[in-house]
Amino acid sequence: MSAGHVEPFGARLAAAVSGRGPLCVGIDPHRELLIDWGVGDDLDGLRRFTDAVVDALAGSVAVLKPQMAFYERFGARGVAVLEDAVERIRAAGALVLLDAKRGDIGSTMAAYADYLGSDHPMQVDAMTVSPYLGPESLAPAVRTATSSGGGLFVLARTSNPDAGAFQHALVGERSVAQAVVDAVRGWNTPDRSRSEPPTDVASSMADRSGWGPSTGSFGVVVGATLPELDVDLDGLGGPVLAPGLGAQGGSVADLRRLFGSGRAVVPTVSRDVLAAGPDAGALRAAADRWTADLAV
């Protein structure tokens, strides 16, 4: 799929962060939240919730991250609500990161990646993917992202309690998590072997530069509540999606502790902002507080 002269996702993300700050707000209409908002756990409640979040935040935050599962549970009509929301989010200037965590092989992965294509009825700017079937399983998504100007965030080092059972397992002398990071680094630097971390000075300098027009379109997901950063992100070249702020216990101080100040990090907040709804002003104020805190 061709997207003409669309700027790569990494450059568009860097521009959005420059203008709006790095905050990503998750759109997670889970059952309890719909009930707490008083809109009802049904299709109408889903639509009212989604409309309120989009109207309040799409004009001010850099990235909105709808969780696909919460829309799919209402069937095709739920996905139609999301399709309408995605169009309005992008029209308001925010980027859409579809939190779908897709992962498969061959034509199936290519079909998942169609969400990034310009002729898809629900085109998004980026999506989350799972690398469990191996880095080559994601090759169709990498190709589609490259040709369409889209982006991918690959699950690498998550902070759920038992994540280390798989992510700390060794592949040769590296952990699985590190092997994922190294593969993504290779997608951002195609002239380098995908399986080897960078060793030259230029790569280190690029890593320290943080955001900019050359920010890569391929990023990794690393939890903001990890006790320590146990993967090497030097020279990644792309952004780090860092979920877990707010209700999950992560703080701005945790971001600084884990990632320092020179890395392209997209901090993600969901419940801590959404709990302020359904009032649009309260939602916007909650997001603005996080944006201000992240700017310090």
Q: Any idea which residues carry the catalytic annotation?
A: 101
Strand pairing category for 174-175 and 170-171: antiparallel
Residue 266 three-state SS: strand
Residue 157 three-state SS: strand
Closest CA to 88 of 128, 47, 127, 29: 47
What type of residue sits at position 179?
A
Are the C-beta atoms of 219 and 183 separated by less than 8 Å? Answer: no
CA distance 156 to 163: 10
| Burial class, 258, CB count within 10 angstroms (exposed 0-12 / middle 13-18 / buried 19+) | buried
Q: Quick one: tokens of 226?
A: 């990890």
Cis-peptide, bond into residue 135, ω within 30° of zero: no
